[in-house]
């Protein structure tokens, strides 16, 4: 049997490697967000600095492994087989759960996931022990088997982290912007030395009391010396760093970039040193358990269901080679993970300074919070002296903002994010407050972006919805981790070795499928290069060329989708295929959301072109866009009655109706495709001909509608329902032709300039 458990260890090591990959993918946002968002250096340089920090942090980590050994349960009350079920269940659940969050691009806490997985799995096994009578003498409640206090501490940490980090992110960033303004490069000589000294001192304080607190060289004597002489050491560091930063500024060195890179290194090192247990702690505990069982129990003839695991209360002795190997895997994952970039994108998008493609929609709660916030600001403005308001407005003049090319926010905010996050985490650690690194860094970034006026009236509701979604995901992590780990542990306990192998294989299958699905999704999700030009180019002509091309692509996509769906739903109705009709309705809803998103993007583009041109083209753009939206609404009105009719198993569409409508259907599809081709090519020479054909077809469909209306008076009662659905199809087809002709009319004015030249010659 011990051979089987050594095989389980091999499986656990495979999962540990996977866990390191998916864990780094999720937590990379903690230390990369500020540097990448502000373009403090090239991505390669940022990754190198972070990689060095990760490797050092992982290689010097020790002591944190104990939480996986006895942090959530009392090991002296559990048998070897029971804890092996717990360890394997935790590992299987963790890699799948974190991979799901990474695929969704949502940052979550690896600490929360591991803590609640351990608690959930051990809770399930404890219930089994209590109900089966396996509990030892003196064990009367679950509290005797579990360490519930740690779970409550983590939950409290979520609330503390969110509130504290967000509040101080707002306050500190607001003060920093008052000091530096958006034109932060002006008048730095008198400020930068002190700011740099405070920043470097805060970061080093964070490194000493958080990043290195569990390093192998941090002996009790060293810790005692640091605690006794904290103020003196910080004073020396402040003086030296202030002088050094002032000197470097005199040498034309960008101090903000220096601070950002030091902060990135510090957070990366702290992440690896303190969160490494989240990825390999359970595997190392399982390895020690198997080795101890083979050494002590097997020679004595004690079975896996009889040997108690009290030795896990002893401190962990993790080999430095395991730590170095883990650090190397983490560095590799950081540099190669595509999902890490998705999680990073979520955080940066929610905090970027300018408007752009919003990843989230709006929600009722977000709208209420925006209204409440606007009311609070209005109240403050009413009681503030006019001179103060004028002075503050002058310091927050966003027209003076200087962003590096492609940056989401400036170097001042990036510095504040890193310094404040490090300082809050270090202070929380010294005060024994359970602050989460993930929560602090994310919420500081959200608070600083709010204070920096990055959430304008046009984007606040979307950003707040995103923040609410991320915070909700944190609590979802805890609940999902607890429940899933408990279920998996129970299955493994009752199913024995076979269930363990099956569950491990299922987890591997889900991971492989997730990877392939994500890869296919990214292949389909082609980067919107034209919109990148619209939102980032400073040349109005280049912006207009990209914008007109992008809007042409959008309209062509909408028309092609509409005509394909129109054809498919008629076929589905004729074949009484209710499943395809339901799918079509759901697809139309998605297409409406996509078109709305594209319209929001393109509307932002009109702010970046010449004002005269924007005024001239705006009306025609909205005419085309609104009618494209109406086409989708008309498709809904066509499909809904068909779906309800088919779902109720009413009389099918007679062959007579289908054959009668076939020529009109074919001509309508030709009109749609002809207009789509005109917009796609930008050649409007045949526009009048296609429009005339659509007008003629409208008249023919009107005649058909009159004929069907008269026919209704003569239909049998049992055929009246399908006759009305057919009439609805005729009427809405007539509307489709009106709407698509309006799209063509608007496009003809939108894409042709005043001289009659086709601007689409400049299409990309």
Interatomic CA distance for residues 652 and 719, integer angstroms: 9
Query: Which of 289, 298, 333 is closest to 55 using CA atoms?
Result: 333
Interatomic CA distance for residues 73 and 60, integer angstroms: 27
| 647 or 318, greater pLDDT | 647
Map residue 135 onto helix, strand or coil: coil
Domain ranges of the chain: 2-522, 529-762
* pLDDT, average across residues 630-641: 94
- Sign of the CA dihedral 706, 709, 710, 715? positive
| pLDDT 10s digits, 16-60 | 888 777 777 767 767 788 888 888 888 889 888 888 888 887 776
- Please give the CATH superfamily to which domain 529-762 belongs: Phosphate transport system protein phou homolog 2; domain 2 (1.20.58.220)
- pLDDT higher than threshold 80 for residue 77: yes
CB 441 within 8 A of CB 206: no
Instruction: Classify residue 133 as left (phi > 0), alpha (psi -120 to 50) or beta.
Output: left
| pLDDT 10s digits, 192-208 | 889 889 888 888 887 77
For position 1, what pLDDT does the model report?
56
**Residue 130 dihedral angles phi and psi, to the nearest 5°:** -65, -40
CB 623 within 8 A of CB 745: yes
Percent of the chain with pLDDT strictly greater than 70? 84
How would residue 757 be classed by pLDDT, with cut points 50, 70 and 90? very low
Interatomic CA distance for residues 40 and 265, integer angstroms: 13
Map residue 195 onto helix, strand or coil: helix
Name residues whose C-beta falls within 8 Å of residue 635's C-beta, 6 or more positions apart in sequence: 562, 565, 566, 569, 588, 736
For position 71, what pLDDT does the model report?
77
- pLDDT higher than threshold 50 for residue 573: yes
Percent of the chain with pLDDT strictly greater than 90? 23
Tokens (6 digits) for 239: 């003086």
Instruction: Classify residue 181 as left (phi > 0), alpha (psi -120 to 50) or beta.
Output: left
Interatomic CA distance for residues 746 and 551, integer angstroms: 12
Q: What is the maximum alpha-carbon separation in the chain? A: 101
Count of CB atoms situated within 10 Å of the CB of 187: 12
**Residue 699 dihedral angles phi and psi, to the nearest 5°:** -65, -40
Q: What is the CA radius of gyration of the chain?
A: 32
Count of CB atoms situated within 10 Å of the CB of 189: 9
- pLDDT higher than threshold 80 for residue 615: yes
Map residue 463 onto helix, strand or coil: helix
Interatomic CA distance for residues 122 and 92, integer angstroms: 14
Q: How many CA atoms lie within 13 A of 398 on its CB side?
A: 10
- The DSSP result for 700-738, as a single string, is HHHHHHHHHHHHHTTS-GGGHHHHHHHHHHHHHHHHHHH
* pLDDT, average across residues 737-756: 81
How would residue 747 be classed by pLDDT, with cut points 50, 70 and 90? very high
Instruction: Name the average pLDDT for the chain.
Output: 81
Interatomic CA distance for residues 211 and 425, integer angstroms: 10
- Tokens 């490069």 appear where? 185
| pLDDT 10s digits, 275-301 | 776 778 888 888 888 888 888 888 888
* pLDDT, average across residues 158-168: 81
| 719 or 302, greater pLDDT | 302
| β partners of residue 61 | 215
Name residues whose C-beta falls within 8 Å of residue 716's C-beta, 6 or more positions apart in sequence: none
For position 20, what pLDDT does the model report?
78
Tokens (6 digits) for 630: 């109406």
For position 758, what pLDDT does the model report?
43
How would residue 584 be classed by pLDDT, with cut points 50, 70 and 90? very high
| pLDDT 10s digits, 537-552 | 778 888 888 889 999 9
| pLDDT 10s digits, 230-276 | 889 889 999 999 999 999 989 989 899 999 998 888 888 877 776 77
For position 212, what pLDDT does the model report?
64
Q: How many CA atoms lie within 13 A of 330 on its CB side?
A: 32
Interatomic CA distance for residues 72 and 125, integer angstroms: 12
CB 743 within 8 A of CB 620: no
| 171 or 369, greater pLDDT | 171
| pLDDT 10s digits, 323-381 | 788 888 888 887 777 666 666 766 676 666 655 555 555 667 777 877 787 787 788 88
Compute, in degrees rounded to 10, the torsion defined by CA atoms 261, 262, 267, 273.
120
For position 761, what pLDDT does the model report?
39
Interatomic CA distance for residues 214 and 57, integer angstroms: 9
Residue positions counted in the chain:
764
For position 718, what pLDDT does the model report?
62
How would residue 561 be classed by pLDDT, with cut points 50, 70 and 90? very high
CB 165 within 8 A of CB 421: yes
Lowest mean pLDDT, pick from 129-143, 405-419, 499-513 = 129-143
| β partners of residue 382 | none
| 8 or 273, greater pLDDT | 8
Tokens (6 digits) for 620: 């025609």
For position 717, what pLDDT does the model report?
61
- Tokens 């958006």 appear where? 182
Compute, in degrees rounded to 10, the torsion defined by CA atoms 742, 748, 749, 752.
170
For position 662, what pLDDT does the model report?
94
Interatomic CA distance for residues 441 and 27, integer angstroms: 10
How far, CA to CA in Å, does 340 sit from each of 10, 22, 30, 92, 355?
A: 26, 8, 11, 20, 23
Tokens (6 digits) for 267: 């957070």
Interatomic CA distance for residues 605 and 621, integer angstroms: 12
For position 756, what pLDDT does the model report?
39
| 183 or 66, greater pLDDT | 183
Count of CB atoms situated within 10 Å of the CB of 624: 26
- Tokens 């009048």 appear where? 688
How would residue 736 be classed by pLDDT, with cut points 50, 70 and 90? very high
CB 272 within 8 A of CB 61: yes
Name residues whose C-beta falls within 8 Å of residue 423's C-beta, 6 or more positions apart in sequence: 202, 205, 206
- pLDDT higher than threshold 90 for residue 587: yes
């Amino acid at each position: 049997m011990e051979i089987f458990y050594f095989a389980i260890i091999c499986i656990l090591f495979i999962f540990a490697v996977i866990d390191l990959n998916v864990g780094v993918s999720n937590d990379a946002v903690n230390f990369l967000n500020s540097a990448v968002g502000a373009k403090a250096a090239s991505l390669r340089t940022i990754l190198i600095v972070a990689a060095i920090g990760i490797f050092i942090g992982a290689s010097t980590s020790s002591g944190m492994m104990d939480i996986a050994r006895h942090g959530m349960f009392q090991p002296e009350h559990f048998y070897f087989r029971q804890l092996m079920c717990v360890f394997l269940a935790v590992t299987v659940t963790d890699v799948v759960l974190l991979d799901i969050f990474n695929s969704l691009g949502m940052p979550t806490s690896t600490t929360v996931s591991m803590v609640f997985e351990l608690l959930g799995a051990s809770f399930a096994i404890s219930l089994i022990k209590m109900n089966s009578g396996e509990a030892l003498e003196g064990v009367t409640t679950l509290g005797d088997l579990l360490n519930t206090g740690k779970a409550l501490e983590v939950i409290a940490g979520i609330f503390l982290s969110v509130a504290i980090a967000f509040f101080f992110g707002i306050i500190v960033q607001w003060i920093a912007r008052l000091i530096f303004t958006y034109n932060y490069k002006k008048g730095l000589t008198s400020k930068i030395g002190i700011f740099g000294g405070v920043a470097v001192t805060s970061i080093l304080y964070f490194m000493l009391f958080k990043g290195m607190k569990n390093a192998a060289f941090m002996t009790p004597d060293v810790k005692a010396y640091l605690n006794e002489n904290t103020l003196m050491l910080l004073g020396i560091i402040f003086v030296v760093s202030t002088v050094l930063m002032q000197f470097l500024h005199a040498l034309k060195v960008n101090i903000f970039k220096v601070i950002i890179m030091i902060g990135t290194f510090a957070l990366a090192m702290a992440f690896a040193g303190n969160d490494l247990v989240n990825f390999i702690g359970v595997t190392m505990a399982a390895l020690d358990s198997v080795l101890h069982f083979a050494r002590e129990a097997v020679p004595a003839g004690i079975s896996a269901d009889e040997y108690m695991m009290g030795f896990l209360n002893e401190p962990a002795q993790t080999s430095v080679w395991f730590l170095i190997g883990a650090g190397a895997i983490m560095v590799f994952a950081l540099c190669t993970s595509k999902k890490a970039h998705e999680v990073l994108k979520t955080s940066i998008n929610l905090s970027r300074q300018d408007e752009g493609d919003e990843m989230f929609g709006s929600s009722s709660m977000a709208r209420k919070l925006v209204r409440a916030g606007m009311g609070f600001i209005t109240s403050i403005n009413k009681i503030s002296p006019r001179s103060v308001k004028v002075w503050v407005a002058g310091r927050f003049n966003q027209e003076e903002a200087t962003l590096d090319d492609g940056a989401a926010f400036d170097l001042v905010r990036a510095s504040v994010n890193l310094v404040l996050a490090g300082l809050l985490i270090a202070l929380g650690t010294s005060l024994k407050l359970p602050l989460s690194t993930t929560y602090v860094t994310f919420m500081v970034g959200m608070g600083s972006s709010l204070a920096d006026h990055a959430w304008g009236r046009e984007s606040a509701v979307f950003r707040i919805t995103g923040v609410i979604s991320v915070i909700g995901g944190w609590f979802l992590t805890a609940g999902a981790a607890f429940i899933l780990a408990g279920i998996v542990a129970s299955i493994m306990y009752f199913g024995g070795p076979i269930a363990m192998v099956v569950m491990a294989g299922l987890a591997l299958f889900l991971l492989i499928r997730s990877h392939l699905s994500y890869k296919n999704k990214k292949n389909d999700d082609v980067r919107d290069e034209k919109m990148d030009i619209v939102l980032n180019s400073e040349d109005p002509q280049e912006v207009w060329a990209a914008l007109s091309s992008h809007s042409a692509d959008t309209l062509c996509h909408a028309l092609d989708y509409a005509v394909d769906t129109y054809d498919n739903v008629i076929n589905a109705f004729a074949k009484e295929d209710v499943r395809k009709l339901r799918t079509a309705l759901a697809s139309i809803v998605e297409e409406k959301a996509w078109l709305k998103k594209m319209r929001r993007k393109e509307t932002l583009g009109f702010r970046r072109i010449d004002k005269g041109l924007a005024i001239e083209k705006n009306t025609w753009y909205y005419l085309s866009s609104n009618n494209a939206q109406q086409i989708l609404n008309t498709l809904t009105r066509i499909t809904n009655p068909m779906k309800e009719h088919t779902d109720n198993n009413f009389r099918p569409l007679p062959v007579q109706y289908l054959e009668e409508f076939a020529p009109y259907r074919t001509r309508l599809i030709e009109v749609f495709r002809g207009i789509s081709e005109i917009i796609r090519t930008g050649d409007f020479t045949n526009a009048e001909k296609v429009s005339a054909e659509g007008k003629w077809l409208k008249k023919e469909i009107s005649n058909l509608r009159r004929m069907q209306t008269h026919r209704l008076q003569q239909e049998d009662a049992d055929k009246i329902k399908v006759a009305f659905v057919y009439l609805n199809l005729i009427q809405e087809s007539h509307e489709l032709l009106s709407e698509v002709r309006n799209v063509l009319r608007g496009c003809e004015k939108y894409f042709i300039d005043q001289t009659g030249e086709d601007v689409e010659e400049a299409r990309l």
